[in-house]
Chains A and B, each alone.
Chain A
Amino acid sequence: MSSPLALDVADLSKKYGDRMALSHANFEVPMGSICGFVGPNGSGKTTTIRMLLGLITPTTGGGHVLGESITEPEKYLPRVGAMIEGPAFYPALTGFQNLNVLAKIGGFSTDSIAGLLDLVGLGDRSDSKYKTYSLGMKQRLGIAAALLPNPKLLVLDEPTNGLDPAGIHEIRTLLRKLADAGTTVFVSSHLLSEIEMISDHLVMLRLGKVIFAGKTIDLLAKQQPVIVAKPENISDLNKLAQIATAAGHQATIMENTVHVTGTSDFSAKLNKAAFEAGITLESLTPVKASLEETFFEMTSE
């Protein structure tokens, strides 16, 4: 039996004038997963998120959020936390007051505000005005605001923008903790290495179209692993590439190394063949394709 879905989108499209911002998108996000939402700038990520949150009306198609149709956002938004296109708050109010405004509007208890500010590391600056916050602090406040409803689904658009490495690590840990507690996290980011580390599902967009939707490991498994071989003597580079090619593998010389497509099984064979040909290898490293490489490969023209 398939797991229940936090999000499902069917044939969802949005057209602005003659420009198709999102074209017939279809994807599903299982409940309790962390789903990375990636794509180059202008690929339709924010448009999709806005449609899921009832901020803009789809041109065609539809979908469901937490089992409710996106045409009735009032049925699911009380269970959804969101930060869209970066944090946006009232500059003259303090961090605490800004969250207080949102808690009152949503009808949530204001008792949790202090705890949430502590959670995102803003406890000691909760009484400072928002306009005095750094970019990283604003981002943290945005995440605290998204957590106000104790959400079943958390939608975050670029949550690590402006954060330092320690802050990025904290957010990554927090998202994992939330997912482990049953919250579905739908997160868009340009930091693909971060997405690769935390997400178990991926939705990838390019030019308004979904080019991949599914498990992250399935996407990475589709990519050919590479063996990077470095001969001790640079003059052996061509000879080494010929050995790999002769064995039926694709080989490319890059700087002082030869990149050979193939699984780690071929490493031993390549090492033996190189030795027999009188080539001493300085290093031989099997490298798995990263999400970043896969992303560029899939989203390049």
Chain B
Amino acid sequence: MWNVFRAELTKLRRPSLSVSTLLAVTFVTSLITSVLFLLVDSPEGNGERGVRISRDVLSLPTGISLSFTNTAGLLGVVALCVFAAQTAQEYTYGTLRNLLVRQPSRMKILLGKLGAMKLFAIVMVTFSAIVGIALSYLFAGVKDISTQAWSTTDAKTAVWHSFINVLIATIGYGIFGMILGLLFRSPISAISIGVIWNLIFEGLLSAFVKNIDRYFPGQLLSTVAQGGTDRISYQYALFTSYAFLLVGLAIVAFLFKKRDVAN
């Protein structure tokens, strides 16, 4: 498994993937942070789905990590795309047969790949946190928002909690992508179905059907990133979303182990 992990890192480190992913992370983090701070006085709202997040809230110790927390959904989409593509491309390139000849244990292949992609997600989330916090200071200065509370111990704790929660959510979205990659064996199908499901299907239904977001893995992961909401507790969101993902992963792992590699 360690060997597969190291080999997978070689693939993940290639500039065409790592640089473009970090650029995408920078873009989504900058977008969310700039909307959050620069539109703080806008009547249309500056948070998710038009929610208004006031100057007072941004000045709290949690304000330092708020932009980063709000980026979790889009970071999740990036992770979903990377995990799905890295998994499904082994089928489209025909490289899976090479991997299996060199490492016949299919579970070791799966776990090694998952481990390397988790490390990639950690780098993504860390990068997003750094960009998000740096831009928060910059935009807070521009909009004259107090940052005094951001250097307190409470703020450091808030950053740490946000980091862990966003990481759990991002890895969850990534696992969802990996499940789709193994299921559809095509990067394009896996990514398009994953994005449509998360952003459109779950998003629209949750906006129109009350409480249905309690049963959608994507919505629950978003709740995990926020550390829980008034309606859905952190523990429920964490347990239920990961239960969905682990069942899904177990099913595709079984298929991966048993299926003939005939392409």
Is B105 within 8 A of A104, CB to CB?
no
Q: List chain A residues, Cβ under 8 A from B100.
A: 53-55
Q: What is the size, in residues, of chain A's interface with B at 8 Å between Cβ atoms?
A: 31
Chain A CB within 8 A of B4 CB: yes
The minimal Cβ–Cβ distance linking A162 to chain B, given in whole angstroms, is 16
In chain B, what residue has the closest Cβ to A55?
Answer: B261
Is A84 within 8 A of B105, CB to CB?
no
In chain A, what residue has the closest Cβ to B109?
Answer: A105
Q: List chain B residues, Cβ under 8 A from A84.
A: 97, 101
Is B14 within 8 A of A102, CB to CB?
no
Q: Which of B1-28 contact A (CB under 8 A)?
A: 3-4, 6-7, 10-11, 14, 16-17
Is B4 within 8 A of A105, CB to CB?
yes
Known: A90-B95, A91-B93, A104-B3. A54 touches B104 (CB 8 A): yes
Interface of B (DSSP majority class) = helix
Cα distance, A215 to B179, chains bound together (Å): 48
Is A93 within 8 A of B3, CB to CB?
no
Q: Which of B192-243 contact A (CB under 8 A)?
A: none
The minimal Cβ–Cβ distance linking A238 to chain B, given in whole angstroms, is 55
In the complex, number of A-B residue pairs with CB atoms less than 8 Å apart: 80
Is A90 within 8 A of B93, CB to CB?
yes
In chain A, what residue has the closest Cβ to B10?
Answer: A101
Q: Which of A44-88 contact B (CB under 8 A)?
A: 50, 53-57, 73-74, 77, 80, 82, 84-86, 88
Number of contact residues on B: which range applies?
20 to 34
Using an 8 Å CB-CB cutoff, how does the interface string of B91-102 with A read, 1 for contact, 0 for none? Answer: 001110111111
Is B7 within 8 A of A107, CB to CB?
no
Chain B CB within 8 A of A294 CB: no
Q: List chain B residues, Cβ under 8 A from A42.
A: none
Is B101 within 8 A of A57, CB to CB?
no
Q: List chain A residues, Cβ under 8 A from B16.
A: 92
Interface of A (DSSP majority class) = loop
* Selected contact of B260 from candidates A55, A77, A91, A93, CB within 8 Å: A55
In chain B, what residue has the closest Cβ to A108?
Answer: B102
Is A56 within 8 A of B102, CB to CB?
no
* Selected contact of B94 from candidates A53, A85, A149, CB within 8 Å: A85
Q: Which of A122-174 contact B (CB under 8 A)?
A: 145, 148-149
Using an 8 Å CB-CB cutoff, how does the interface string of A93-125 with B read, 1 for contact, 0 for none? Answer: 100010011101111000000000000000000
Chain B CB within 8 A of A89 CB: yes
* Selected contact of B7 from candidates A54, A91, A104, CB within 8 Å: A104
Is A88 within 8 A of B95, CB to CB?
yes
* Selected contact of B97 from candidates A88, A92, A107, CB within 8 Å: A88
Cα distance, A50 to B104, chains bound together (Å): 12
14 A-B residue pairs with CB within 8 Å = A50-B262, A77-B104, A80-B101, A88-B98, A89-B93, A89-B98, A90-B93, A90-B95, A91-B93, A92-B17, A97-B10, A100-B7, A102-B99, A105-B103
| B residues adjacent to A (C-beta < 8 A) | 3-4, 6-7, 10-11, 14, 16-17, 89, 93-95, 97-105, 260-262
